Structure formats: structure tokens, C-alpha cells
Amino acid sequence: MKVWKMNGAGNAFAIFDARSTSFVPSTDQVRQIAKDMKADQIVALERDVARDVFMRIWNADGTEVSACGNATRCVGKLLLAETGKDRVTIQTEADVLKAFSADNGLITVDMGSPLMGWEDIPLSEKMDVRGVDVKIGPIDNPWLARPAVVSMGNPHAVFFVKNVDDYDIRALGPLVEWHPTFPEGVNVGFAQVIDRQTIRLRVWERGAGLTKACGTGACAALVCAARAKLTDRTAKLILDGGELTIEWRETDDRVYMTGPVELEFETEI
């Protein structure tokens, strides 16, 4: 079975070609692979009757999840090269995604429409998704409060802050990740709006921790910022590991993510 180690803006993946060999890792095996290959997520490519591939995703902690934007771009690059097509379709648990080549060797993925109902996130009860009732720290002077929430096929809470470097994300992220308001956990974004076309973002990922980039997190931050009129509907997201351009298209309500993909190595096991 072929295995690729790839990254999208530094977000690292171990990708297993399970289209002709079964790959059903246990939770402990996922955790071990993530550790050995220094991967944030493990991905299995599986045969799909209608799409170019079915993409199964596990976080480094072994939990299976429904969406991973940067991995989708990596898988897109592999399939575009393999098929010679100019567009490939990728089925995940959450949606059918489309990947295609952009300028300068970048890859664009159509990540579908953001979901904004409190049950879609999901939240533990009905709240205003533009700012949910979550406070972290002293009640009278919380360090973090009222994140905006959205789902990109996975749950995201985005705190808009003056300076992302003022926050100890490794300490604060876990306090939000499993906060009771988020029954399925949540990915935690710390977003600093630089101007109407630029956001600096760091993400504590559910099940993976502080990563160099988070694709669905970048989509979530842009959607929450544009929804709150803090930015335009297209912006450059500056992450620790690189830059992603996110566009929330008005015409079809779909979110397009463009960014770099790197193949670190490939091997057979």
C-alpha cells in the first residue's frame, strides 16, 4: 500500500492509499502513526462508486472526523496528477468537495456552504451563533468570551482578538475544545483582523492541538469575519505555516480555499 506524507501550509498528513488494500486502523494505531509520521491527521483514500475517491479522516488523537480542508487540497493534488483531469471530486462524511489547480502550483478546493444553525455546529442549546455564551477565565474579566461559531462540516469557534500573539493558545485551546457548549467538541480559532482583506489566524484543532495551519479553520474565520462585516468576503489568511486565500462566494454561498501543497515523501508499506 502506497503512503504519502504531505502538508498543506504546514498542516501535516499521512495519506494511505486504501483503494485496493483494506486499511481500518484502531484508535491506538492511528495515534501511533500520527506520532511516528508527525501528522496532525491520518487520511485513507477509499474507492467510491460515484466520486473520484472517498476520503476518510482521523485526528491525531484517533477520533474520526468529517472534514479536513488542507488534507482535501493534498488529496486533490494527488488525484489531479493521477487522473490528468482538471477537476476531481472527493466524497467525505460531510459533503462532496471539488478540487482543481490554481495559479503558481496552488490547489483550490470548493469546501461547500457554511452551516450556521445551532444544531448544525452543534451547540448544546439554541444560542446566537454570531457570539455564543462562552467565557474562559474570571467571570468578571474573562480572558476570552463570546466566540463566533460556524460549521464547515466540522465545528469551529472563532475568537476575534487584538493580537493573536497575546494568547497562550496551548493553555486556552483545550479549555474551549471540550467546553460543555460544544457536545462534539470544537476547533478553536484565534483571529486578528489586519485589514478588510487580511486575517492573521492560529488554530487549536480538536483532536490535534495547535497546528501550523487549519483549512476549515481558515474558512470558518473568514465566514465569521465577513458575516460580522469585519472583512470582505475574500481575504488572505496568514497562518503559522503559510497563507491561504479564502473566498465565500456570494453567488453560490460556497467557500473556496486556495493554498500550497507539499509532498514530503512517499513510500510503500
List residues forming the annotated binding site: 11, 41, 59, 69-70, 154, 187, 205-206, 215-216
* Interacting positions 97-136 with ligand API (CB under 6 A): none
* CB burial string 52-86: b at 16+ within 10 A, e below: bbbbbbbbbebeebbbbbbbbbbbbbbbbeeeeee
Q: Looking at beta carbons only, is 196 or 243 nearer to ligand API?
A: 243
Q: Which of 62, 147, 189, 207 binds ligand API (CB under 6 A)?
A: 207
Asked if residue 5 binds ligand API (CB under 6 A), the reply is no
What is the C-alpha to C-alpha distance for residues 109 and 223, in angstroms, rounded to an integer? 16
Q: Provide the 3-class DSSP secondary structure of residue 57.
A: strand
At residue 12, φ and ψ (nearest 5 deg) are -100, 140
Binding mask 131-170 for ligand API (x = CB under 6 A): -----------------------x----------------
Asked if residue 245 binds ligand API (CB under 6 A), the reply is no
Asked if residue 92 binds ligand API (CB under 6 A), the reply is no
Q: Looking at beta carbons only, is 35 or 195 nearer to ligand API?
A: 35
Q: How crowded is residue 139: how many other Cβ atoms within 10 Å of its Cβ?
A: 7
Residues in the chain: 269
What is the C-alpha to C-alpha distance for residues 260 and 104, in angstroms, rounded to an integer? 9
Q: Looking at beta carbons only, is 11 or 192 nearer to ligand API?
A: 11
Output the nine-digit C-alpha cell for 36: 511516528
Binding site for substrate: what residues are annotated? 11, 41, 59, 69-70, 154, 187, 205-206, 215-216
Asked if residue 215 binds ligand API (CB under 6 A), the reply is yes
Computed from CA positions of residues 261, 263, 268, 269, in that sequence, does the dihedral angle turn out positive or negative?
negative
Asked if residue 260 binds ligand API (CB under 6 A), the reply is no
214 is annotated as an active-site residue = yes
264 in Cβ contact with 1 (< 8 Å): no
Which residues are catalytically annotated? Answer: 68, 214
User: Applying CB under 6 A, which residues contact ligand API?
Assistant: 11, 40-41, 59, 65, 68-70, 154, 187, 205-208, 214-216
